[in-house]
Amino acid sequence: MVLYSARNRPAPWAQRTHGTSGWLIPFVATEWLFEWTAFALSRWSFLAVLEYMGTFSVLIAVIFYFSESGNRTKQRHYQAWQVINTAQGKGGSGGRIEALQQLNEDNVPLVGVDVSSAFLQGLRLRNADLLRADFSSADLRKSDLTGVNLTLANLNSANLRGAVLDQARFDQADLSNADLNGTSLIGVDLSGAILDGADLRFADLRDAKWQQLKSVNMLNIAGVRNAPVGFIEWALKNGSVDKPDSEE
């Protein structure tokens, strides 16, 4: 807001007080004094310079703010990785849900991230690059992992019950003993994946690429929904089981 502006010269005292009641004179005098002060200051160029300098300093601050945005982003990423690495191998969340989601939102690859045994229920990492990530024994129930790349990832004994993994890539991933009960696996690529001992009950396998699965020994396929043509027969022939009431 511009505060400085040139002012008109105040009226003479006699004119200013003409017709004014006597008891109002002190108030008029005070106002008249302020008018002259404002008039004198408005003619002082130094104030105009100060005003321009104030505006210029705001401009400089804005320029510096945007020029430093890259460093602030790097610092934010460094702090997120610090949270993830500090809690490595520990249970609980430890702020890792927020850290992982923040990195993914900034399109930072999460290649090789180790969150084994972490509590990550409700995690949202759509389209994340999780190549060689370690989610072994992690709790990922009801998470949204749509379109993630879990190639060569370790999901041994991970709890993915009720999670959404549509269009995910599990190329050569280890899903041994993973809980995939009720999981949405629409359009996933399971080429080379290991599903030994996993619970696939009631999972949705519509359009899943399963033909190159590596191993399905003791995989529970009871109640699998939208199973691709030939999958059930092949799985049972290669060691899978159909146990609807299994607690394993």
pLDDT of residue 1: 47
C-alpha dist (Å) from residue 175 to 98, 150, 157, 197, 212: 25, 11, 7, 9, 14
pLDDT of residue 12: 73
Provide the b/e sequence for 16-44 (b: ≥16 CB within 10 Å).
Answer: ebeeeeeeeeeeeeeebeebeeeeeeeee
Straight-line distance from the first to the last Cα atom of the chain, in angstroms, rounded to the nearest whole number = 70
Instruction: List, in order, residues 6 or more apart from 105 with CB less than 8 Å away.
Output: none
97-248 falls under which CATH superfamily?
E3 ubiquitin-protein ligase SopA (2.160.20.80)
pLDDT tens, position by position, for the chain (248 residues)? 445 555 677 677 666 666 666 676 776 677 767 776 766 666 666 556 666 666 767 767 666 656 656 677 888 899 999 999 998 878 888 899 999 999 999 999 999 999 999 999 999 999 999 999 999 999 999 999 999 999 999 999 999 999 999 999 999 999 999 999 999 999 999 999 999 999 999 999 999 999 999 999 999 999 999 999 999 999 999 999 999 986 54
Structure tokens at 22: 């006597």
pLDDT of residue 25: 72
**CA 184, CA 204: separation in Å to the nearest integer?**
5
Residue type, 184: S
pLDDT of residue 205: 98
Residue 212 CA to chain centroid, in angstroms?
34
Report the SS3 class of residue 234. helix
Check if the beta carbon of residue 111 is closer than 8 Å to that of residue 129: yes
**CA 10, CA 224: separation in Å to the nearest integer?**
91
Check if the beta carbon of residue 180 is closer than 8 Å to that of residue 200: yes
